[in-house]
Structure 1
Amino acid sequence: MSTLQVGLAVAGGLILGGVVAYNTWNSRRHAPRQAEPAPGEAAGGAPAPESWIEPGLAPAPGDAAEPGRIEPVLDADLEPPAPPERRPALDALIDVITPIALDGRVVSGEALLAALPSTRRVGSKPFAVEAQAEGSSDWEPPRAGRRYTAVQAGVQLANRTGALNEIEFSEFVVKAQRYADAVGGAPEFPDMLHEVARARELDQFASQHDAQLGFTLRARGAAWSPGFIAQQAARLGFVPGVVPGRMVLPAAEAGLPPLLGLAFDAQAALSEQGEHASVREFTLQLDVPQVARQEQAFERLREAAFALAEAMGGVITDDAGQPLQAAMIDSIGRDLERLYDTLEQHDLAAGSPQARRLFS
């Protein structure tokens, strides 16, 4: 082989090696960032199988709030709250309530429970029965082993599906009448037109004061893997939700709705090769009426957004992809304070049982 041939072969090898090295570097540069392995974790940053809690399905990241205003909720897409130990009592502010006269009789809790309908809804509205135990003035759901002297049935006037309408009111009358007949009582129904008008008024108020705040975090450079997002969010106290692509910051008290939610592409979370899935954005969410004012959920939302943006190399944006500056976010906070005031003035303080039921 001549010197020229040797030189060409060497040059070709160097060029080929350079191309391979460049492609490898370029591939790594654009690969999604991975979670850092820790003791007890499997490769790729995921917890070892015995300790893994699989997150659950949720919608893809929703729209973020526009700068300086609060965005009305169209869907209750934050994690549904776990049921509290004791259901909130029927309330004349947000329920149609029908007394069921027992004519001085005492009815056992077993009899009241046996007569309950198989479905506890009237159309899209919750249906409930409460009773007063002997020697008590408090209303409670019927319980076995107790004796009751008064009973009432109720249906919610409005929720996020809309106002109670005439058809639903008629269904309530039928269901409550059947229940009263089963327990030997006589119901006293309020005027339908009056209650439907109350439902529409309440629904209008709720629609005007229902708010969900959302901040979208977008990757500046390299995308993120689902494991990397989960690891960074976990450092701020987020835990997996019940479906893929969903995490929540739980409330301190069991049974209450989460303080914040985090949502990203569910398909990426479901990918069989999750470490190679690429996510370029996710949304931090606050369902305002569901969380009490004293929890300072907006401040925690703001802090989480800035902390994650810094740690992950992201930028906080609105739904159009425009960066949200600190002054814009502060303006949203001031709007939120006014909303809290209005809800409290109407006895529907954020996080109260009445607000959680109405805005659900």
Structure 2
Amino acid sequence: MSNLQIGLAIAGGVVLAAVVAHGAWSSRRNTPRQAQPEPNRDAAADGPREPVMGDMVFDNQPMSVPSLARRSAMDSLIDVIATVALDGPTMVVSGEAAIAAMPATRRAGSKPYAIEGYNVHTQAWEAPMPGQRYSSFQAGVQLANRSGALNEIEYSEFVVKTQAFADAINATPEFPEMLEEVARARELDQFASAHDAQLGFTIRARNASWSPGYVQQNAAHLGFVAGGIPGRMVLPASAQGMAPVLVLGFDSQAALAEDPAQSAIRDIALHLDVAQVDRAEQPFERMREVAAGLAQTMDGVVTDDNGQLLTAQTMDQIGVELQTLYDTLEQRDLAAGSLLARRLFA
């Protein structure tokens, strides 16, 4: 073989090696970033899940009710309440009879509907339970929620359901005046609509995309746990049973892919439902910290829903406005994170 042939062979080998190297580099660049093995994290992987709230349901959102509460869960601030008096001062109704008489659904139109009995033994208002005895009852329907204000048709359904319950247990209901309650519902709905804040940040990848495992691993380092649906993680509140402080979401199809490691995620969303989270949790401050932390570790940027970069000045202004909102809600006895606020803003 001549020197020329040897030179051409070497040059060809160099070119081939360069092509192979470039292909490998391109492949690595386009492959979603993967989660890295971490020792002793098996327990964490099987650990806490999204909080499961109590068994009282409003607007299809489970709501926790403190197990030691001694007063009614209904409140005239956000509920229409009708008294249901038994026909006789010494009469009592068993829990089984009350349950059998209750309507099949716990809604009047789009509004939550509930019946409570006054337990003669515990002297507390509660949803009727087997084995208990009740000396009186009350029925309530919520004045407003995120679906709007209670209207005349929904009020009429509330009356029909309550009257049927009263007839079944030999009792007499007494209802507030409809037009007054509907007007009160509209006023409450106007207040709620003007003070309902839901904040969203988006973390977008600068260069390489992310795999679901990579997102989950980095979010877990900041305290997030798996949510109830694919592509959702939550930052739990400090008190068990409360709504999560923050919700992190990404493409559910990527999470459900046959090979999630090859699923490419280019953005994730952080969500804060202000009225649902106690002010003491400092949810917005934690939202900023989480967003900054994820952006730094995952090589991303923080934007709004329209893709505009969020500056520190913009976030500071949002924080100031939120403090005013918290004060307003508290002045109305609807403090963020309270049971009444969680029901109204649901």
Give the TM-score taking structure 2 as reference length.
0.89
Instruction: Tell me the equivalent position of 2:137.
Output: 151
Matched, 1:115 2:110: no
Q: Which runs of 5+ in 1 are unaligned?
A: 42-46, 56-78
Matched, 1:139 2:107: no
CA contact (8 A) 1:80 1:257 kept: no
Instruction: Tell me the equivalent position of 1:76.
Output: none
Matched, 1:263 2:249: yes
Q: CA deviation at 1:38?
A: 2.0
Q: Quick one: structure 1 residues 122 and 188, their matched pair in 2 at CA, closer, same or farther if it must change by over 3 Å?
A: same
Q: CA deviation at 1:39?
A: 3.3
Which is further off, 312-321 or 280-289?
312-321
Letter in 2 for 1:22: H
- Distance (Å, rounded) in 1 between the aligned partners of 2:339 and 2:135: 26
* Secondary structure of 2:308's aligned partner: coil
- Distance (Å, rounded) in 1 between the aligned partners of 2:49 and 2:180: 48
Matched, 1:222 2:208: yes
1:55-78 Cα distance to aligned partner (Å, 9 max, x none): 9xxxxxxxxxxxxxxxxxxxxxxx
Instruction: Tell me the equivalent position of 1:27.
Output: 27
Matched, 1:245 2:231: yes
- Distance (Å, rounded) in 2 between the aligned partners of 1:256 and 1:53: 14
Instruction: Tell me the equivalent position of 1:63.
Output: none
Superposition map of 1:41-190 within 5 A: 51=46, 83-84=64-65, 86=67, 89-103=73-87, 104=89, 105-134=91-120, 138-190=124-176
1:18-56 Cα distance to aligned partner (Å, 9 max, x none): 111101112212322111112367xxxxx69x949999x
Q: Which runs of 5+ in 2 are unaligned?
A: 51-59
Letter in 1 for 2:74: L
* Secondary structure of 2:168's aligned partner: helix
CA contact (8 A) 1:81 1:255 kept: no
Letter in 2 for 1:94: I
Which is further off, 282-291 or 215-224?
215-224
Letter in 2 for 1:32: P
Instruction: Tell me the equivalent position of 2:55.
Output: none
- Distance (Å, rounded) in 1 between the aligned partners of 2:133 and 2:192: 38
CA contact (8 A) 1:54 1:243 kept: no
Instruction: Tell me the equivalent position of 1:304.
Output: 290
- Distance (Å, rounded) in 2 between the aligned partners of 1:315 and 1:282: 11
- Distance (Å, rounded) in 1 between the aligned partners of 2:9 and 2:61: 66
Instruction: Tell me the equivalent position of 2:38.
Output: 38
Instruction: Tell me the equivalent position of 2:7.
Output: 7
* Secondary structure of 1:12's aligned partner: helix
Letter in 1 for 2:263: A
* Secondary structure of 1:218's aligned partner: strand
Q: Quick one: structure 1 residues 322 and 223, their matched pair in 2 at CA, closer, same or farther if it must change by over 3 Å?
A: same
- Distance (Å, rounded) in 1 between the aligned partners of 2:271 and 2:124: 37
CA contact (8 A) 2:330 2:336 kept: yes
Matched, 1:314 2:323: no
Superposition map of 1:272-351 within 5 A: 272-351=258-337
- Distance (Å, rounded) in 1 between the aligned partners of 2:6 and 2:235: 65
1:152-208 Cα distance to aligned partner (Å, 9 max, x none): 111111111111111111111111111111111111122221111111111111111
Identity over aligned residues, as a percent?
60
CA contact (8 A) 1:226 1:269 kept: yes
Q: Quick one: structure 1 residues 54 and 139, their matched pair in 2 at CA, closer, same or farther if it must change by over 3 Å?
A: closer
CA contact (8 A) 1:213 1:286 kept: yes
Letter in 2 for 1:95: D
Which is further off, 297-306 or 224-233?
297-306
- Distance (Å, rounded) in 2 between the aligned partners of 1:242 and 1:331: 33
CA contact (8 A) 1:268 1:278 kept: yes
Matched, 1:236 2:236: no
1:240-265 Cα distance to aligned partner (Å, 9 max, x none): 11111100011222221111110111
Q: CA deviation at 1:82?
A: 6.0
Give the TM-score taking structure 1 as reference length.
0.86
- Distance (Å, rounded) in 2 between the aligned partners of 1:350 and 1:52: 28
Q: Quick one: structure 1 residues 187 and 210, their matched pair in 2 at CA, closer, same or farther if it must change by over 3 Å?
A: same
**Which structure would you say has the larger RCO, counting Cα contacts within 8 Å and 6 or more residues apart?**
1
Q: Quick one: structure 1 residues 107 and 172, their matched pair in 2 at CA, closer, same or farther if it must change by over 3 Å?
A: same
CA contact (8 A) 1:84 1:254 kept: no
CA contact (8 A) 1:251 1:257 kept: yes
CA contact (8 A) 2:48 2:225 kept: no
- Distance (Å, rounded) in 2 between the aligned partners of 1:53 and 1:34: 23
